[in-house]
Amino acid sequence: MSVIIKPLVTEKMTKITEKISNRFGFVVDKEASKDEIKKAVEELYDVKVVKVNTLVAPATRRQRFTKAGVISGRKPSYKKAFVTLAEGQTIDFYSNI
């Protein structure tokens, strides 16, 4: 089972990372626990995780008006994890580009 789906690289998360230099965000599996997330981040990025905060973003309804009429649907819910690293450690998401 893959615990970490992708890192959160948004403007808001970048501001949080700049303000609190050792906090990073990830989209994770909805069934993953905080301990599983901590182990996965430590193994994948070779860092020491101090704290893990999680939240489940609810599913949202989307509706668009087009020439063909109204198109409605929904976006699925997902789980976010905010990981605080030990002092002096960091993760570079852009090193493999």
pLDDT digit string (tens) for 18-58? 887 789 999 999 999 999 999 999 999 999 999 999 999 99
Predicted local confidence at residue 96, as pLDDT: 64
Residue 35: how many CB atoms within 10 A of its CB? 9
Specify the pLDDT at position 32.
94
pTM score, whole prediction: 0.83
Distances (CA, A) of 57 to 54, 60, 67, 76, 89: 10, 9, 31, 9, 28
Give 46-57 as a DSSP string. Answer: ---EEEEEEEEE
Report d(CA 82, CA 24) in Å as an integer.
Answer: 6
Name the residue among 45, 57, 46 with its Cα closest to residue 81. Answer: 57
